[in-house]
Amino acid sequence: MATHFEMELDNLKSIIKKIGKLAEGQVSEAVKILLQEPEAAEGKIIKKTENKIDKLDVKIDEICQSIFALKQPVASDLRFIMSAMQISNEIERIGDLSISIVKKAKNIKEKHDLIVKFNIADISRQVELITAKTNICFAEQDGKATGEIFVLNKDIRNSCEDAIHDIINEMKVNSKAVVSGTNLVIVLKHLERISEHCTNIAEYVYFTVNAKIIKHDKFDDLRSED
């Protein structure tokens, strides 16, 4: 039989899964709006979900605070609670970035051409993928998935850098592209940040499972240990 403390931890875990799913939905919604032409009806759902995410983020902080104060978690429980606080932070940021993407997407003229030209759809899909994988990594507390998420993040980072490089070149020769180009660069930066936040979450899962802090480490360090 689970003790009531274990039930409390389970409850916390399910709230984090929930907020993670909401953020994943926000990313998909943002990507959909970004890739759509002409712009579809948007705003309501994404705004509503943001409020939900913010509320859950605060709730998670409160739960963690009271577990720290009242239950003195140790060992794996301690790592789980420490990670929970950080993860909910990262998730909340993912939600915010999704909203920003929607706002910037509105300023992009002749979006469709740009999207095709600079490979934005592929990058967006990859970001959706890493978000989904990260949620699974957390739900299953799968430290091994961390490596895969690191690799995916690296790909996304490279693709974003390449695309940004190409966009800047385009803007140099075509001054009409400057406004849209700048907005698209910001969108790409946001996508890249989302992927980074996912990677951070995977790092916290790794920390919870393996009791090893891999923040700021290179993926190669992680691989050479396995």
Partner 1 sequence: MKDIKIKVNDLSLYYGEKKALNEITMDIPANKVTALIGPSGCGKSTFLRCINRMNDLISNVSITGQMLVEGVDIYDKNVDVVNIRKKIGMVFQKSNPFPKSIYENIAYGPRINGINNKAELDEIVEKSLRQAAIWDELKDRLEDSALGLSGGQQQRLCIGRTLAVSPDIILMDEPASALDPISTSKIEELIHELKEQYTIIIVTHNMQQAARTSDHTAFFYMGNLIEMGKTNSIFTKPMQKQTEDYITGRFG
Binding site for partner 1 (CB under 8 A): 3-5, 65-66, 69-72
What amino acid is encoded at 164 in this protein?
I
> What is the CB neighbour count within 10 angstroms for residue 76?
13
Q: With respect to partner 1, which residue has the nearer C-beta, 63 or 123?
A: 63
Q: Which of 14, 24, 38 is nearest to 131 (CA)?
A: 24
Contact 158, 126 (CB under 8 A): no
CB 68 to partner 1: min, Å: 9
Tokens of 173: 């020769």
CB 2 to partner 1: min, Å: 10
CB 70 to partner 1: min, Å: 4
CB 71 to partner 1: min, Å: 6
Contact 26, 94 (CB under 8 A): yes
Q: With respect to partner 1, which residue has the nearer C-beta, 76 or 169?
A: 76
Q: Which of 202, 200, 224, 218 is nearest to 90 (CA)?
A: 200
> What is the CB neighbour count within 10 angstroms for residue 205?
25
CB 26 to partner 1: min, Å: 31
CB 84 to partner 1: min, Å: 17
Q: With respect to partner 1, which residue has the nearer C-beta, 11 or 174?
A: 11
> DSSP letter string over 136-158?
HHHHTT-TTHHHHHHHHHHHHHH
Q: Which residues have CB under 8 Å from 216's CB, separation 6+?
A: none
Q: With respect to partner 1, which residue has the nearer C-beta, 71 or 93?
A: 71
Q: Which residues have CB under 8 Å from 61's CB, separation 6+?
A: 85, 88
Q: With respect to partner 1, which residue has the nearer C-beta, 65 or 158?
A: 65
Q: With respect to partner 1, which residue has the nearer C-beta, 1 or 173?
A: 1
